[in-house]
Amino acid sequence: RKEVEQDPGPFNVPEGATVAFNCTYSNSASQSFFWYRQDCRKEPKLLMSVYSSGNEDGRFTAQLNRASQYISLLIRDSKLSDSATYLCAVNGGTSYDKVIFGPGTSLSVIP
C-alpha cells in the first residue's frame, strides 16, 4: 500500500462548481498534513496546512480525520485559475521525518 493515496482524477468541473478531493495516509503516527498545488510544468507550492480542527482559507476548506487517516480539500465556487494538480502531503510522526506526497489529483475548471 502506498503511504499517501489520492483520488485518481482527473476532475473536470464547470466554473462555479464545488469540488472535493480526498487523500488517505498509512502512517498513523503522522502529525502534519498539507495540500500543495502544482501548475502544469511548475514546481509544487503550499496551498494550505491541514489542522485537526479543520481550517478554511477563502474558498478552500481542509479537513482531517485522524481516526480514518483521511484528509480532504473542498474548493467552492471554482475558478478557471484553480485548474492545477492538487497534491496531498504528509509528514511523519517526528520532527525529523520526511514529507511524502501523494500522486496528485488533476483539476480542470471549464468555462
Stretch near other proteins under the rule CB under 8 A, chosen from 14-22, 52-60, 71-79, 98-106 = 98-106
Q: Which is nearer to other proteins, 76 or 108 (CB)?
A: 108
Those residues whose C-beta lies under 8 Å from the C-beta of residue 95, and which sit 6 or more positions away, are none
Shortest distance in whole angstroms from residue 31 CB to other proteins = 9
Amino acid at residue number 84: A
C-alpha cell recorded at residue 110 = 471549464
Q: Which is nearer to other proteins, 67 or 96 (CB)?
A: 96
Stretch near other proteins under the rule CB under 8 A, chosen from 14-22, 52-60, 70-78, 84-92 = 84-92
Phi and psi at 69, nearest 5°, equal 55, 60
**Contact with other proteins (CB under 8 A) among 17, 44, 60, 69:** 44
**Listed residue (107, 88, 81, 77) closest to 9, CA to CA:** 107
β-bridge pairing 33-38 and 84-91: antiparallel
Residues that bind other proteins (CB under 8 A): 4, 6, 32-34, 42-46, 49, 87, 89, 91, 95-104
